[in-house]
Every structure is written in C-alpha cells, then in structure tokens.
Amino acid sequence: MQTGGFPARVGKVIFPGWKMSLGTIAAGMTVSLLLVGLFMPYWKIADQDLPLAYNGLLLNDGRPQEYFDHTGYLYILLLANWFRLLHWLGLLPVHALSELPPLTDVAAFDRAWQQLIEAGRVLSLILGVTFVWVYAALVRRLVGDWRLAVVAAIALAWSGGIALHIRIMRTELLSAGLVTSALLLVLVAAHAGTIRRCIYIGLAGLCAMLAIVTKVQALLPALAIPIIALAFGQRVTAEGAEAPDTARRWTVALVAAGLAVAVAYPAVGLLAEGLAGGSMYRPIGGGLSGVYQWLIALWVVGSMAAYAAAYRVSLPDTIAAAAALACGLGLGLLSLDILYHHLNVVAVANPVEHMFESAAVATPMLTHEPQMLTGALALSLVKGVGQALAMHSFVFSTSARPTLLLEWFAIVGAVVLWRRGERRLPLRVAVLIVTAWGLDTVFSLRSLQTPYFAYTDPLLILAAVLVLAHLPDLQARRWAQHAAIALLVVYVVWAHLEPVKAVLRHNTPQETCAWLPAFTTKMEFPFCRS
C-alpha cells in the first residue's frame, strides 16, 4: 500500500530520520516514566503490580504459578527471568520469595519490594518501547512512508493505554503488542511473495497464540483479524514480488503442511488435555461448551477460503498460508510447556468460559447466572454498546484516551474521501473503527478500564494514518502543519492525565488488604498484619 509522503520541508524540520525518530520516541517515553510514575510507592497501584511480582518471585524459588486470572503465564515467566537477570547483574538484591527480608524488618522489606516494583516498571517501559517500534516498522511496511510510521509511533507511545502501561505491571501490554503485531503481519503478508507471505502469516499465528496465552481476552481482537484482512486484501501480481512457478508453489505448500503436521501432533494433545478440564467452569449454554473451539477453527479456515476466493489466491498458496498459520498457532500453544501448569492449559483451551468468570466478578448481574448465554449477558452487552459509544463521543462520557482525536479525524477524513469518489479506503477505515467499538463493547464487561485501550488504540491510530496518507494536499498545508503541532501537545498532555492522577491519588496500602492476601498466599505484607 504505497502512498505519498510528507513534504520534504516538513520531514527535515519535524522528523530527524527514521532511526533517530524512533530513538527520540523511546527517550521521550523514558523521561515520561522518570518524571511520573517510576518512583511511586510500590503499593500505589497494587492491582496487578503486587500479584504479578509475587508470582515472579514464586517462579524464581522453583514454586508453581498461583495467578491464573488472565492467565498471565507468559508475562509472569518473562518477569521472573527479568528479575533473575537483574539479580545476576547485581542490580536487584532480592529476586526470589525466599530472599525477602523478614516482616519484622519493615524498612528492609519495603525497600526490597520497592526495588522489585521499580524493576517491573522498567520492564513495562521496555515492552512499551518494543511495542511502539514493532508497530512503527510494520506500519511503515504497510503504508510505504516512514514519516507516517513515525506519526503512528508517536500516537501509540502517548496513547491512553500505553502511557499508563509503561508505569505499571499488567498482562495487557504484552498481550496487546503481540496481537497487534499479528494483525499487521497479516496485512503486510497480502503484499508479499509466496515464501515471505508464509513467514509473515506463520509469525502472525505465533504472535496471536502467545497473546492469548498471556491474556485470554486477546482471543477477541484475534478473531477480528480475518474481518480486517478481508477488507485490506488485494491481488498480488508478479511484478515486484516473487513469482515462483506452480511446481515451486506446491513445494512450498507441502513443506509448510509437513511442518504444520509435526507441530500439530503435540499441540492437539495439549489442547485436548485442556478441553478435558473445561468442566471446572460454568457451561456456556446451547450445547456450545467444548464445541465453540471447533467453530473458531472453522471461522479461521472459512475466512482464509473467502479471502482466497475474493482475491483469487492460488490453491497451493492458500494451502501454504493455512499451514503456516497452523504451525504458528501450534508453536504458540506449545509455549505452555516451557513451565507447565495444568490450569494455564485449561484456561487457554476454554477461553470463553475463562473470560466469563473474569467478567462476572466485575458485573454483579452475571455473578449468580448458572450459564453464560442468558438475558443478563445480553443486557450487559447492550449497556456496553452505550458505554462504549458514549466514551468514544467524549461528550457523554469523558475518557483518558487522546486517540479519540485521531478517531474523529479518521471519520471526518473518510467522509471527505468518500465524497471525492474513493470507496475502498473509507470502508477500510470504517472496519477498523467499528471493530474498535465492538471490542470496547465486550471489554465494558470489565468496566472498560484504561489498560484495555492498548488493544483498540492501534486500530484507531492505523485508521487515522491511512486517511492522512490519502490526503497529501492536507499534509502540505502550512496551517495543517501548525495544527498538527498543537494537536501533538494536547495529545501528550492528555495522555499524562491518568498517570498523574494515579500518582496524586490519596490512597493507603491498607486499602488493598481486603483482596491482596488471597493473591499472595505464601507471604504477608506488613501493612496488612492485624
């Protein structure tokens, strides 16, 4: 999707170069964290800082994971190894539960936990910067203009979700980064040759499954990828791309299929083990428990067949792409064997039931429902539509989400392009925005918390960048350039409202004692001792 770029004058003044721009963004995120959030008291945002850090300490003591709400598995594994690395470098004195100072030495205990949480916040910064960089690189490959990719990176770095995520430990950051990468890899694959297309789609499958392993709610944006891919598809011509003959295409397809079969054997066994434990959850209703997983597989296969038919993809290329996807998904699922725990496998194999258990905690009307498919769930989703749309309007419900500015720009720009006679791009923008609305509706079952914006903000940013790419006349206007600078200032300030609010919040550590002991069963905090 090659597009026109920014005027040269603007590029020289605002953008110091591709690598320098990305480095400047990372430096800006680092300064932002240092000024606001890094040195907050370790108990300031206890959910999920303390439970996740506690589980990292458990793993480093050779004990099993205890936190499975999300499941959180991949993040906890990463956090434990991050603690271990810092301890090996001599930067973190305590990295395992058994190394914590005694409760009688409150000052030493608090100091150890402060260092652990600050280390976790640094890891969040690293994950946030990596997310932004990967997003920028894939957007650049998609739109063909590095300056637009830098704009996308700036917008993501100071979006509501990421601006908060780099200051706390939560599983959504890693999960959202992976599932967003999966989406962009699929979109980029449409413009690649046969072999590279298989690589991109295989990586997309791996990222999508790792995102779900980290937080099962990532299943929802992952299921939206086929819809977006259908809207963004195009026929790949031989010009400028690989053009292997039919024999070579079939060779690639057979090799990909062989790899998929090799990965599928252990992966299916792991999935079957998880399905067998699904009885621990409330049933879905309508006989869908244990069945909808096959419907998800059918959705993916059917979408790939629809894509092949719509864009005339050859049969061997379609088989190769499907096999590559299956291989990536299987490898992602097998990551559960890195540090095996039965409850992680059950949660990933039964994601809808697991999500419902989490939603029921935040939605009282769902708490006592015997199954999922009830009028209470339907009513909650209807209310969620209203909540999501009100938040996107900002007028009816304020939000710590500066990406709303980009959403409004994308909508207005899409209307302008439609009136100029363009049809395809406005439809693509509509698909991205409506997908974000739909995901926010479902996330409203968990009160549509700011961290969930990390899943949908990238969609709104991509919509705005695509519109901007198709309005080169706007890019060249001096008033538009000045407006963009003013918008950037408002955007960055807006992004800091929620973090500053968290820092200034007058809460006490004792407020966490109503729930924290249930998540830290093998230790106590001094402020929770009676």
Cα Rg for the chain, rounded, in angstroms? 24
Is there a domain that residue 3 lies in? no
Last residue of a domain, one of 298, 314, 349: 349
Q: Are 272 and 413 contained in the same domain?
A: no
Q: Are 521 and 429 contained in the same domain?
A: no
Last residue of a domain, one of 349, 370, 396: 349
Is there a domain that residue 176 lies in? no
Is there a domain that residue 7 lies in? no
Instruction: Check if the beta carbon of residue 184 is closer than 8 Å to that of residue 224.
Output: no
Instruction: Check if the beta carbon of residue 239 is closer than 8 Å to that of residue 190.
Output: no
Q: Which amino acid is at 285?
A: G
Alpha-carbon distance of 439 to 221, in angstroms, equals 7
Q: Are 468 and 371 contained in the same domain?
A: yes
Is there a domain that residue 384 lies in? yes
Q: Are 231 and 343 contained in the same domain?
A: yes
What's the confidence (pLDDT) of residue 237? 53
Sequence-ordered alpha helix ranges (H) in 36-72 = 46-60
What's the confidence (pLDDT) of residue 236? 59
Three-state DSSP class for residue 163:
helix
Is there a domain that residue 187 lies in? no
Q: Which amino acid is at 306?
A: A
What's the confidence (pLDDT) of residue 11? 46
DSSP string across 224-277 = HHHHHHHHH--PPPSTTS----HHHHHHHHHHHHHHHHHHHHHHHHHHHHHHHT
Q: Are 98 and 202 contained in the same domain?
A: no
Half-sphere exposure of 416 (CA within 13 A, CB side): 13
Q: Which helix (H) or strand (E) holds 380?
A: helix 375-393
The backbone torsions φ and ψ at residue 47, rounded to the nearest 5 degrees and listed phi first, read: -95, 105
Q: Are 27 and 144 contained in the same domain?
A: yes
The backbone torsions φ and ψ at residue 450, rounded to the nearest 5 degrees and listed phi first, read: -55, -40
Instruction: Check if the beta carbon of residue 172 is closer than 8 Å to that of residue 190.
Output: no
Is there a domain that residue 478 lies in? yes
Q: What is the DSSP letter of 168?
A: S
Location of structure tokens 């271990």:
84
Instruction: Check if the beta carbon of residue 136 is closer than 8 Å to that of residue 155.
Output: no
Task: Give the burial class of 416: count Cβ atoms within 10 A of its Cβ; 0-12 exposed, 13-18 middle, 19 or more buried.
Answer: middle
Task: Give the burial class of 269: count Cβ atoms within 10 A of its Cβ; 0-12 exposed, 13-18 middle, 19 or more buried.
Answer: exposed
Last residue of a domain, one of 334, 349, 364: 349
Q: Are 199 and 337 contained in the same domain?
A: yes
Is there a domain that residue 424 lies in? yes
Q: Among 326, 314, 334, which residue's Cα sits nearest to residue 201?
A: 326
Q: Are 342 and 363 contained in the same domain?
A: no
pTM above 0.75, yes or no: yes
Alpha-carbon distance of 460 to 183, in angstroms, equals 13
The backbone torsions φ and ψ at residue 399, rounded to the nearest 5 degrees and listed phi first, read: -150, 145
What's the confidence (pLDDT) of residue 381? 85
Instruction: Check if the beta carbon of residue 259 is closer than 8 Å to that of residue 328.
Output: no
Domains in the chain, number: 3
Instruction: Check if the beta carbon of residue 76 is closer than 8 Å to that of residue 59.
Output: yes
Q: Are 398 and 520 contained in the same domain?
A: no
Q: Are 403 and 530 contained in the same domain?
A: no
Segments forming the whole domain that contains residue 332: 194-236+246-282+289-349
Is there a domain that residue 391 lies in? yes
Q: Are 163 and 205 contained in the same domain?
A: no
Alpha-carbon distance of 397 to 90, in angstroms, equals 47
Per-residue pLDDT of the chain (530 residues; tens, 9 = 90+): 444 445 444 444 456 789 999 999 999 999 999 999 899 999 999 889 999 999 999 999 999 999 998 899 999 999 999 999 999 999 999 999 999 999 999 999 999 999 999 999 999 999 999 999 999 999 999 999 999 999 999 999 999 889 999 999 999 999 999 999 999 999 999 888 888 999 999 999 999 999 999 999 999 999 999 999 999 988 755 443 445 578 888 999 999 999 999 999 999 999 999 999 988 888 888 788 888 999 999 999 999 999 999 999 999 999 999 999 999 999 999 999 999 999 999 999 999 998 888 877 777 777 777 777 777 888 888 888 888 888 888 877 788 889 999 999 999 999 999 999 898 999 999 999 999 999 999 988 877 788 899 999 999 999 999 999 998 877 667 777 778 788 888 999 988 988 888 888 888 889 999 999 999 999 999 998 86
Q: Among 242, 199, 211, 276, which residue's Cα sits nearest to residue 73?
A: 211
Q: Are 330 and 402 contained in the same domain?
A: no
Chain centre distance of CA 474:
31
